[in-house]
Amino acid sequence: MSMHQFIASSAEDAARQIRERLGPQAVVVQVRRQPARWFRRARWEVLAHVPPVPPANPVACAAAASNDVAVAPTTAERPACGPVGRGTGDLLESLGVLPVYAEPLRQRFGLGAGVGAAEEARRVREALVQSWRRCEPAASERLHVLVGAPGVGKTTALCKWLTREVVERRRRARVWRLDGATINAGELLSWHAELLGVPVERSWSGAAWEEEVGFVDLPGNTPPPVGMAATVHVVVNAAYEAARIVEQVRAFPMAADVIVTHLDEEPRWGKLWNVVMGTGKPVRFLSVGQNLPGNFFEATAEQVVAKLFAAG
C-alpha cells in the first residue's frame, strides 16, 4: 500500500489536492492539524492512499452450481455458503436466501423442477432480478436521515455518501450530528466533514439552510426528530444473521429504503433478497469495507446477481 502525504492550508485545500492527485477513490487514513508557529499559519497534514480493487467474485459457490463455470473453485477458495453441487434445489439457500422467502420464489418461477444445473442457475438469476424492488424517487431528496441499530456502520456510510455528493457530484452539503438517548460520539464524521469543507451542526432548530443536500447522523436506535421533512434510510450490517437484519429494518417503518454495509464480511450477497422480500423496502446503497470514500455504490439487481454468479 503506497501512502501519500499532503500538506494543505485548509481542509478544503487538502480535499482538492487529494482529489486531483489520487482521484475520488482515495482513502483518508490520518488527518493531523499542525499548529501555527511564528509567522506560519496552521496547516493540515493528511495521509491518504488508493485502496485495491475489491474482489469481483464474493460468492464463488453460486457460480460453481452452474455448468457455465468451466472449473469449480477449490475447497480452500469456497466461501462459507455450504457445499457446492448438492442439487439445484439448494441454490437459493446457498446464496443466502432464507427458506421462508426461497419457497415463494421456487413456486412462482418453477425452480427445482428437475432441470439441469445450468438451466436452474439461469432461472434463479431471472427470479432474483424480477423479484428485486427498485428505489422510487423520494418525496424529499434534499435532506437524508440515517437510522439503524448501534454498530451497523451508519456514520461510515454517511461519510462515504457525503464524499460522493461533495467530491463526485460537486454539491454543497451540510451535516447535523445529533444526540439522542445517548451522546453522538461520532468524531470521525466531524473530522471528515471538516476535511471536505462541510459545516457540521450539533443541534436541529428547523431553521432554513441553503446547501443543496444535507445529512443527519443519529446514535443508536434514535428515530429522526419529529416534524423533520427528510428521507429516512435504515442502515443494516450484512454480516448479521438474515432474520436479525429483517427485524432491524422492520423496526423503522418510516424508512424509505435500506443501506447495506459490511458486505466485504459477507460472501452470500443473496441475503439482500431477504430484506427486499421480508420488508417490502428496496436496497438503495451497498457499502464494502470501512475505507473512505470508496466502495459505496447504488444497488441494482443486475449488479448483485452478476457478482453472485461471477466466474472465478
Q: What is the pLDDT of residue 51?
A: 66
Read off the DSSP letter of residue 174.
E
Q: Which amino acid is at 9?
A: S
For residue 262, is it left (φ>0), alpha (ψ between -120 and 50) or beta? left
Phi, psi of 187 (to 5 degrees): -65, -30
Helix, strand and coil in the chain, % to nearest 5? 35, 20, 45
Give the domain ranges of the chain: 4-49, 60-131, 143-299
Q: What is the pLDDT of residue 49?
A: 77
* Distance, CA of 212 to CA of 165 (rounded, Å): 10
* Distance, CA of 54 to CA of 273 (rounded, Å): 22
The DSSP string of 68-113 is T-SSPPPGGG--SS--SSS-GGGHHHHTT--HHHHHHHHHHHT-SS
Q: Which pLDDT tens digit goes with each residue over 3-38?
A: 888 888 877 787 788 878 887 667 777 777 777 776
First to last CA, the chain: 24
Q: What is the pLDDT of residue 1?
A: 55
Q: Which amino acid is at 312?
A: G
* Distance, CA of 42 to CA of 202 (rounded, Å): 25
* Distance, CA of 64 to CA of 190 (rounded, Å): 45
Q: Which residues, 6 or more positions from 178, have their beta carbon under 8 angstroms from its beta carbon?
A: 184, 202, 203, 204, 216, 217, 218, 222, 225
Please list the ranges in the chain whose pLDDT falls under 70. Answer: 1, 24-25, 38-40, 51-89, 113-114, 138-140, 291-294, 311-312
**Residue 209: strand, helix, or coil:** coil
Q: Which residues, 6 or more positions from 137, have their beta carbon under 8 angstroms from its beta carbon?
A: none
Q: Which pLDDT tens digit goes with each residue over 264-284?
A: 888 889 999 999 999 999 999
Q: Which pLDDT tens digit goes with each residue over 288-304?
A: 877 666 689 999 999 89
Q: What is the pLDDT of residue 24?
A: 67
CATH 3.30.70.20 fits 143-299, yes or no: no
* Cβ atoms of 249 and 283 closer than 8 Å: no
pTM above 0.85, yes or no: no
Torsion angle defined by CA atoms of residues 270, 137, 253 and 166, in that order, rounded to the nearest 10 degrees: 80
